[in-house]
A and B are shown apart, each in its own frame.
Chain A
Amino acid sequence: GDSVIQMQGQVTLSENDFLFINCTYSTTGYPTLFWYVQYSGEGPQLLLQVTTANNKGSSRGFEATYDKGTTSFHLQKTSVQEIDSAVYYCAMRDWTGGYKVVFGSGTRLLVSP
């Protein structure tokens, strides 16, 4: 079935470091891919989405692309700040699976000043 694998459980950086989080996906269809961010005590909120392979999505300084050839998509930011500390989830919606939206296991980002 459809699945999303997010291997990095935790990433620890200093302010102004480069962030890169990677996910891989498995589907037989044509997915739309999402990145969500969750701050402590809140529900996940959409950070950005990418509908077409090799296109970029961007929001709040974050960028995401997905590579259909390697079935991977990643989130990056050139210079992280302490306020970016949160849990980041990749997710996938694939119409061949109906309206399911499945999530990865999350990456906790800790940014020290």
Chain B
Amino acid sequence: EAAVTQSPRNKVAVTGGKVTLSCNQTNNHNNMYWYRQDTGHGLRLIHYSYGAGSTEKGDIPDGYKASRPSQENFSLILELATPSQTSVYFCASGDDSQAPLFGEGTRLSVL
């Protein structure tokens, strides 16, 4: 069964700390995405990838890095976390014929 798994599901971080959010997909999809979800803004694209080794900037990349070491894994990295990055983060995978399939989200609080 198609699946996108995010870890951790909940995270509390301190301002200035480093945070890594992980995403794994078992769908053999080429494309993977990271979004953040905030009230009033919907889902905003941070970074995406169209295959292992590639990362592309989305609409709001500032303050975030991404890494795609393999087809299955796509990480979002906050090198210096700030309170404004408190949000719910969603990972998704898809390809040319498949609409993005989402994980269940990671709730991040930066104190």
Contact = CB atoms under 8 A, between A and B. Distances in A.
Interface string A95-113: 0001111111110000000
What secondary structure prevails in chain B residues at the interface with A? strand
A44 B100 CA distance: 9
Q: How large is the interface on A (under 10, 10 to 19, 20 to 34, 35 or more residues)?
A: 20 to 34
A85 interface: no
Nearest to A103: B43
B42 A46 contact: no
Interface residues of B, number: 26
Nearest to B91: A43
A89 interface: yes
A6 B110 CA distance: 29
A102 B59 contact: yes
B104 A43 contact: yes
A34 B35 CA distance: 16
Interface string B60-87: 0000000000000000000000000000
A100 B42 contact: no
Interface of A: 1, 6, 9, 32, 34, 42-46, 49, 89, 91, 93, 98-106
